Structure 1
Amino acid sequence: MPQTRSPAFTKPKPWTDVAPLLVDVATGRKKADLVVRNGRWVNVHSGEIIDGTDIAIVAGRFAYCGPDASHAIGEATTVVDAGGRYLVPGLCDAHMHVESGMVTVTEFSRAVIPHGTTSMFIDPHEIANVLGLAGVRLMHDEALAMPINVHVQMPSCVPSAPGLENAGAELSPADIAEAMTWENIIGLGEVMNFPGVAANDPTMVAGIAATVKAGKTVGGHYASRDLGLPFHGYVAGGPEDDHEGTCVEDAVARVRQGMKAMLRLGSAWYDVATQIKAMTELGLDSRNFILCTDDSHSGTLVHDGHMDRVVRHAIEQGLKPVTAIQMATINTAQHFRLERDIGSITPGRLADFLIVSDLAALAIDAVYARGVRLASEGRLEIDIPAYDYPDTAKNTVHLGKTLSAQDYDVAAPAGANEVRVRVIGVVENQAPTKALEADLAVRDGFVEMDRAGDVCQIALVERHRGTGGVVNGFVSGFGYTKECAIASTVAHDSHHMIVVGTNKEDMALAANRLGEVGGGVVLFSEGRELALVEMPIAGLMSDERAEIVAGKAAKLTVAMREVGCTLNNAYMQHSLLALVVIPELRISDAGIIDVTKFEKVDLFV
């Protein structure tokens, strides 16, 4: 597949190509393209803030960082007075999924650049579960066209749990080995099949080995609470980081075993405050901790921020500002073996930096990448041309039939007036769920929901092969008080369709509506459509501007509250109900899955 790179942005030259020029500018023999004077240098290598610093930039890289860059100023040099403000390295998101923003790589970049993000490490395993290797290549090539550094991790587990779900595509060890030869693949994406790694599953072993042989980083995902022998086996199997920790014990265990603990603050995952105590209270070395977002939807990006939001949050938890910035810059760069290119304001590195007026509040006045100002005062100053996704990436929702209310009937055992069922329990602001049980009434042979008890119905509708298959179950925690249903073709990780509702007629309307528009998320109540976010690209991403998508997502949030849901970022919780690699209980196209045992279980207890 040919690569497409926007003519508006040129790829930075390797350091080896421009090193003599950098030396000439540093010594005054040649002049810089840009000089920023009178800054307070946030040096993430030494941990210092150095007043009265000038930086000189040429060919998109730092050439000189010191007390006086007047020797590098010529007639054609642009000079910027920092006025005593802080010079901060561009922020890095160490682990994230662009698709969770409901937008493309281009629109995600447009949204986060004003917030100071200049490097992202993306794992496109969402599109991989729908379109396979071709989908990964599409996002890989789009990433190359960006004016910031968007590195791609090759998805490791598609499907995430073989035998427990069936995705729209599969990736083999041979696919992983091929991807390791691509220009912009930085490593292996989160290895979610942690039982497979601990059991020496040949597919897992081969994929990890191909990555290590290529000299690239192996991403981790250990979602179990068991820190015994399975955890030790997983670490021995090769993963080098993990973002699934939720408590201080998780962070400590990972760092002690030589992993990098990635602390995430996404739209719905609040795992920084609990784990940061490993540094603030236990005194562990901050060099082994990295900040990331994992999943941020468009509303968060547009209104609340991206990595700047995470760094501020870390500072609020008691970290020194410089330490928090290190965890979002140099620590990330070193982990991915990119310290020579990104992560600090030092000679030879790409000139990705921020001008910040308040360090603790991380008030970003200007954002530069590769020596070019991209944003100031929170506004993007450049245009990034839209990336044209082919028709093969669209029209991916195949239901096989028009769904009806009867498709959501749950037949009770013969003669039963009441049944005990397994219920997926939503945990606010965390990815894990609870394995609950509930006693439900039976009417006319079918199991009833219990709206008063906050037990409504969940269904997984097969959407890749048009089988017409529907798996039904029950979920608690959303708090819906009205007749309603929400359907989404974003259903991590296999991305079938998840429908949750208190009314079967609305559930059918919602599912059929997404079939009409080619995917997305929609909310119906009492037969009326209250909100819709269309996502025609693989049923995962919109082809509209981030601001438009954020507006539609905000309308969805309001509509969900109107029908009784008060959870923070409830849509994100909804989208993970089929994620069969995070405990405790999930739903897949294979049935109800107990993720603590990694096995299918019966709906009835």
Structure 2
Amino acid sequence: MLNTFCKTPLWECNKELVRIALGQRPADVVIKHANYVSVATGEILPDTDIAIGCGRVAFLGIGHHTADRCIGPDTKVIDATGLFASPGLMDSHIHVESSMIGVGEYGRAVVPRGTTAIFADPHEVGNVRGLKGTRCMFDDKSSPLKAMMTPPSCVPAVHDVEDTGATIDAADIAESMQWDDVVALGEMMNFPGVFAADENLLDEIGETLKADHVVTGHLPLGNHSDKLSAYVAAGVTSDHECNTWKDVQTELRMGVYVQLRFGSAWLSMPEYLPQLIESGMDTSHCLLCTDDCHPNTLVSDGHLDRVLREAVALGLDPVRALQMCTINCAQYFGLGREMGSLTPGQCADLVLFDDLRDFNARLVMIDGDVVAKDGKPCFDPEPYAWPDWMTHTMNLGFEPTPETFEIPALADARLGVSVPNGKTCAEALAEKGVDISATLPDGTARVRVLGAESGATVTDDLVLDVPVKDGLIVADKEGDILKMCVFDRHHGTDGVHSFGFVKGFGIHGAFAQTVSHDAHNLLVMGDNDEDMALAAKTLLECEGGEVAVADGKVVALVELPVCGLMGTGHVDDVAAQVAKVEQAWRDLGCTMPSPFMTMGITSLACVPELRLTNRGYVNCVSFEMEPLIEA
């Protein structure tokens, strides 16, 4: 694959690199006396020199072979005594939108931590503004971070169960495969479509393979080797959805590149890494990824440096951990000839760490340029000029009121609930000829409830007794059963919204967000209709974001006007707003880590077991719609 991510193509500068290596011309930069992390051999080599020219490594001085002959009067010499020189870190699977900032600001947050490259799937923006929106997002070149795109494969994530703001098909993927910053196809979440030999999905895979790119995966099916074989045979070669050691073992044996995930809420890696280490299995097909990191995680705890700390604390050899986010990653994406290791001819993307335990980055270089020192960027991204069509995406068509959230307790127990925007549930049912006076008496009703679990992407499909009061089904605060509503925010009054219940958050008040994977519709959750209405109205007014409401007051707000997903400010400012929302979650009773991320996937229809989209409950095993009330 042609590498367009280096300052100078190798064929243009190889003569200069030869001269530098032979001491016939001076290097631009020489790093002296480093503890060199050889990800190619799994060694740490002390007192090593690295000479850099044209943005690439020209000479590697191991042992007594110094780079002194490469030093001229204008050469920048960096003394790395006591430091560890590693290739720059690469995140094999990330959604930049989850950081609630654009690509430029994302670089400001992660480059000082040692991250020099990301493989990013912009399917969040894709679901709101399509392929045009993803192109707009990645046209932000204000950061030196090598932001490589894996265009979204599943927009919508699953067909016929939700309404998105856009669609992306095989023709779009064929177009995107010609873009210089595209290196792979984004995660193939619609695995049912692959198993059903959906023509468009297989054509998307085909267009990717024809472009000599890889197809990244998403298969939360556990140990199902028959289905996994079909998935891999289709052309998918990686997966970040492993949750157990058995999943990891099975996928590695199938030749899959397993992406060990450790983000803000999806903390899969600790569940299986100790067993992977104990097994002694080869880890050259293991990559590290964060998948989703919120801005306060990035600012407070870090990015891949945080993942490395966790991996080493779990017992993984630090050099092997570094291989998983450098050379293994580059080789998987077809960039291994020029990126991923600090060897002659490769891009000079490197980090000088204090040690290989805390992974504190003292200096970061990209293409031989110093881009960060002592945790601070040496660059200041210009604010990106987002066009209006990317910052005005809230099209609900009406303003919700408390009555909007009322759910009649109908005697017709099998009736599902999906309501046109602008109408109450009672109005919509009456128009269908339903006798809305035939409600259940006060007491309880058997109602389907989505069970959310802390730190997990999977959910439970529960049927529980939920209170009925004055002919309405209401939330049960004491039983930790909250009301949910998902509104199509893309199509105005041509859209529909739906109702459901959720267990596991334990809050009083209401929360709403437009970060609701993957359609990113308006998701509202709470224990009373008044607070839910205020939460929804607040996000309509600010063009999207996240909000906490309690007792008729807005407690915390994150404004995300770019596609309802990203802010326009400094990463530290967005992180501070998110921290206030996190505190509001805690103050209002929730104990989950990053609960708004868990809330955001309650509508994600491509992960088992039960989800609520704007069309209603979806059984994400059978992919059939389910009723709200059970007999």
TM-score range, shorter chain: over 0.9
Alpha-carbon displacement from aligned partner over 1:123-181 (angstroms, at most 9, x marks no partner): 00000000001111112322x45312110001000000001111100001000000000
Does 1:194 find its partner at 2:218? no
Does 1:473 find its partner at 2:497? no
Deviation at 1:228, TM superposition (A): 4.2
2:131 alignment partner, one of 126, 130, 133: 133
CA RMSD of aligned residues (A): 1.2
Matched with 2:47 is 52
Deviates more, 1:429-438 or 1:471-480: 429-438
Deviation at 1:226, TM superposition (A): 5.4
Matched with 2:518 is 493
* Alignment-mate amino acid for residue 50 of structure 1: L
Matched with 1:460 is 486
SS in 2 for 1:269: coil
Alpha-carbon distance between aligned partners in 2 of 1:583 and 1:571, rounded to the nearest angstrom: 19
Matched with 1:437 is 463
Does 1:450 find its partner at 2:447? no
Alpha-carbon distance between aligned partners in 1 of 2:264 and 2:70, rounded to the nearest angstrom: 44
Alpha-carbon displacement from aligned partner over 1:1-44 (angstroms, at most 9, x marks no partner): xxxxxxxxx96121111111111111111111100000110000
Does 1:586 find its partner at 2:572? no
* Alignment-mate amino acid for residue 81 of structure 2: G
Q: CA contact under 8 A between 1:40 and 1:87: conserved in structure 2?
A: yes
Matched with 1:78 is 76
Deviation at 1:292, TM superposition (A): 0.3
Q: CA contact under 8 A between 1:55 and 1:65: conserved in structure 2?
A: yes
Q: CA contact under 8 A between 1:593 and 1:601: conserved in structure 2?
A: yes
2:581 alignment partner, one of 524, 534, 556: 556
Matched with 1:104 is 102
Does 1:596 find its partner at 2:621? yes
Matched with 1:16 is 11
Structure 2 unaligned regions, length at least 5:
412-438
User: What are the residue-to-residue correspondences of 1:373-388 with 2, within 5 Å?
Assistant: 373-388=370-385
SS in 2 for 1:185: coil
Matched with 1:230 is 227
Alpha-carbon distance between aligned partners in 1 of 2:307 and 2:607, rounded to the nearest angstrom: 23
Alpha-carbon displacement from aligned partner over 1:163-207 (angstroms, at most 9, x marks no partner): 111110000100000000011111100000001111211011100
Does 1:179 find its partner at 2:176? yes
Q: CA contact under 8 A between 2:475 and 2:482: conserved in structure 1?
A: yes
Does 1:25 find its partner at 2:20? yes
SS in 2 for 1:56: strand
Q: CA contact under 8 A between 2:398 and 2:492: conserved in structure 1?
A: yes
Alpha-carbon distance between aligned partners in 1 of 2:325 and 2:6, rounded to the nearest angstrom: 23
Alpha-carbon distance between aligned partners in 1 of 2:223 and 2:92, rounded to the nearest angstrom: 25
Alpha-carbon displacement from aligned partner over 1:66-110 (angstroms, at most 9, x marks no partner): 130011100110001101311111100000000000111111110
Alpha-carbon distance between aligned partners in 2 of 1:165 and 1:203, rounded to the nearest angstrom: 18
* Alignment-mate amino acid for residue 287 of structure 2: I
Deviation at 1:278, TM superposition (A): 4.5
Alpha-carbon distance between aligned partners in 2 of 1:589 and 1:231, rounded to the nearest angstrom: 30
In the comparison of the two structures, how many residue pairs are matched?
Answer: 593
Deviation at 1:561, TM superposition (A): 1.0
Q: CA contact under 8 A between 2:143 and 2:379: conserved in structure 1?
A: no
Does 1:425 find its partner at 2:451? yes
Q: CA contact under 8 A between 2:119 and 2:150: conserved in structure 1?
A: yes
Deviates more, 1:568-577 or 1:439-448: 439-448
Matched with 2:419 is none
User: What are the residue-to-residue correspondences of 1:121-520 with 2, within 5 Å?
Assistant: 121-142=119-140, 144-225=141-222, 227-414=224-411, 415-417=439-441, 418-467=444-493, 469-480=496-507, 482=508, 484-520=509-545
Matched with 1:7 is none
SS in 1 for 2:279: coil
Deviation at 1:499, TM superposition (A): 0.5
Alpha-carbon distance between aligned partners in 2 of 1:34 and 1:385, rounded to the nearest angstrom: 27
Alpha-carbon distance between aligned partners in 2 of 1:141 and 1:184, rounded to the nearest angstrom: 10
Alpha-carbon distance between aligned partners in 1 of 2:59 and 2:293, rounded to the nearest angstrom: 36
Matched with 2:415 is none
Deviation at 1:332, TM superposition (A): 0.3
Deviation at 1:367, TM superposition (A): 1.2
Deviates more, 1:178-187 or 1:228-237: 228-237
Q: CA contact under 8 A between 1:449 and 1:502: conserved in structure 2?
A: yes
Alpha-carbon distance between aligned partners in 2 of 1:91 and 1:599, rounded to the nearest angstrom: 41
TM-score by length of 1: 0.96
Alpha-carbon displacement from aligned partner over 1:313-371 (angstroms, at most 9, x marks no partner): 11111111100010111000000010122211111111111111211221221111111
SS in 1 for 2:498: strand
Alpha-carbon distance between aligned partners in 2 of 1:11 and 1:528, rounded to the nearest angstrom: 51
Q: CA contact under 8 A between 1:251 and 1:278: conserved in structure 2?
A: no
Q: CA contact under 8 A between 1:25 and 1:64: conserved in structure 2?
A: yes
SS in 2 for 1:157: coil
Alpha-carbon distance between aligned partners in 2 of 1:145 and 1:205, rounded to the nearest angstrom: 35
Deviation at 1:384, TM superposition (A): 2.0
Alpha-carbon distance between aligned partners in 2 of 1:433 and 1:520, rounded to the nearest angstrom: 24
Alpha-carbon distance between aligned partners in 2 of 1:145 and 1:13, rounded to the nearest angstrom: 19
Matched with 2:427 is none
Alpha-carbon distance between aligned partners in 2 of 1:194 and 1:226, rounded to the nearest angstrom: 15
Q: CA contact under 8 A between 2:497 and 2:615: conserved in structure 1?
A: no
Alpha-carbon distance between aligned partners in 2 of 1:384 and 1:470, rounded to the nearest angstrom: 39
TM-score by length of 2: 0.92
SS in 2 for 1:195: helix
* Alignment-mate amino acid for residue 328 of structure 2: N
Deviation at 1:441, TM superposition (A): 2.1
Structure 1 unaligned regions, length at least 5:
1-9
SS in 2 for 1:79: strand
SS in 1 for 2:382: coil
SS in 2 for 1:135: helix
